[in-house]
Amino acid sequence: MMLFGGAVCAVASYGLLSKGFSNPSAGRERAAPIVDDFNTGGWRVYDYHGGLEGSTKNVYYPVTWEEKGGVNDSGYVWGDDSRWRIDTPESPHSILAFIIYRSWLKKGPVDLRNARLSVHFRGDKLDLKGSRVYFWALSNKLGTRWHMKAKPLAVPEGGWSERQVIVLEPDEKLWNRSWSRYPNTPASLDEVLRECESYGFSFLGFNGEVTGKFAMDELVIEPAAKP
């Protein structure tokens, strides 16, 4: 086991396209899929203000990496309540349990409009306090975050979920704008997904601090084909 806050991400096919992902259509350009088998790093856990009231400092703790025990006994990552904290400027309040910035990987923004995402989750003594897990996307440049509220993701207790697949449709009826640095001029969902600089998974809808261990493995994001 090791804390894992490095800045390397695997970007390759890894054969995972055969597990619920379509191949690029003939005559259409498709960016390379973003494949994270969690044998490399980049992911962190967000602790809003580090517990210091009035602080504006963002605190990011490294996730913990396990060499074995993931899907098909692969490496995987996990975080727990010793590292996350409720992000009160968000509406509704959120806990950004897993977060990554493209800049940490020395990469630019990615277009996530209509991208297909798949992931496996696991909880161990995870008390969600009535919350659900959702994917979110952020444009730091535009200062706006959106959560995909229409597609909550399952976190089974004590075992890995099946591969969960969602399509990141740029339809604002399916999402909730949870935060904007510029509340009078927030960015649209299309703008945020088109130039996404950060993304991850959060807890929303809790009635208290979520506690326990939250694990993730085999995250794949396949950008949509372009004409």
Taking only the tens place, the pLDDT of each residue in 53-97 is 554 578 999 999 999 999 999 889 999 999 999 998 999 999 999
16: pLDDT strictly greater than 50 = no
52: pLDDT strictly greater than 60 = no
> What is the fold, at CATH topology level, of the domain defined by 2-19+28-222?
Jelly Rolls (2.60.120)
Instruction: State the chain's mean pLDDT as an integer.
Output: 86
Nearest to 121 by CA among 178, 166, 62, 168: 166
**Interacting residues of 18 by C-beta distance below 8 A, sequence separation 6+:** none
Contact between 75 and 67 under an 8 Å Cβ cutoff? The reply is: yes
Across-strand partners of 179? 145
Rounded CA separation 122/78 (Å): 9
What's the average model confidence in pLDDT over 181-207? 97
* Predicted pLDDT at 6: 42
- Percentage with pLDDT > 70 across the chain: 81
Lowest mean pLDDT among 44-48, 54-58, 172-176, 206-210: 54-58
Rounded CA separation 156/133 (Å): 11
Domain ranges of the chain: 2-19+28-222
pTM, 2 dp: 0.85
Label residue 4 by pLDDT band (50, 70, 90): low
What's the average model confidence in pLDDT over 167-195? 97
HSE-CB at 136 with a 13 A cutoff on CA atoms is 30
